[in-house]
């Protein structure tokens, strides 16, 4: 989930939130409770190339040792 940096214009504090991209433009509330915040353009490292095709999850079925292949 991407992180977004915000800055509070009431107290000047900066904070970051993890939220879905669909909620990126939703208003954020300062940790101190102020609602006058602005979203900063931070350099979020979005690695778009390379999907999960190369990293298949291990088959944790546990059926190996039952077949005698484990020794
Ligand atoms: Zn604040």
What is the pLDDT, as a whole number, of residue 24? 83
Break the chain into its structural domains and give their ranges: 3-39
pLDDT digits (tens, 9 = 90+) for 22-62: 988 888 999 999 999 999 876 555 666 655 555 556 665 55
Residue 21 pLDDT more than 80? yes
Distance 9 CA to ligand 1 centre (A): 7
Query: What was the pLDDT predicted at 58?
Result: 66
Report pTM.
Answer: 0.55
CB 44 within 8 A of CB 2: yes
Torsion from C-alpha of 60, 63, 65, 68, nearest 10 degrees: -140
For residue 34, with 0-12 CB atoms within 10 Å meaning exposed, 13-18 middle and 19 or more buried, which class applies? middle
| Residue 50 Cα to ligand 1 middle (Å) | 39
Q: What is the mean pLDDT of residues 10-14?
A: 96
Rg of the chain's alpha carbons, rounded to an integer? 22
Ligand 1 center to residue 3 CA distance, Å? 19
- Spatial CA neighbour of 39 closest among 68, 11, 4: 4
Q: What is the 16 CA–ligand 1 centroid distance (Å)?
A: 13
């Amino acid at each position: 989930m991407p992180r977004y940096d915000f800055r509070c214009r009431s107290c000047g504090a900066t904070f970051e939130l993890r939220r879905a991209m669909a909620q990126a433009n939703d208003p954020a509330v300062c940790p101190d409770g102020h609602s006058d915040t602005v979203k900063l353009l931070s350099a979020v490292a979005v690695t778009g190339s390379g999907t999960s095709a190369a990293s298949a999850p291990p088959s944790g079925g546990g059926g190996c040792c039952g077949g005698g292949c484990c020794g």
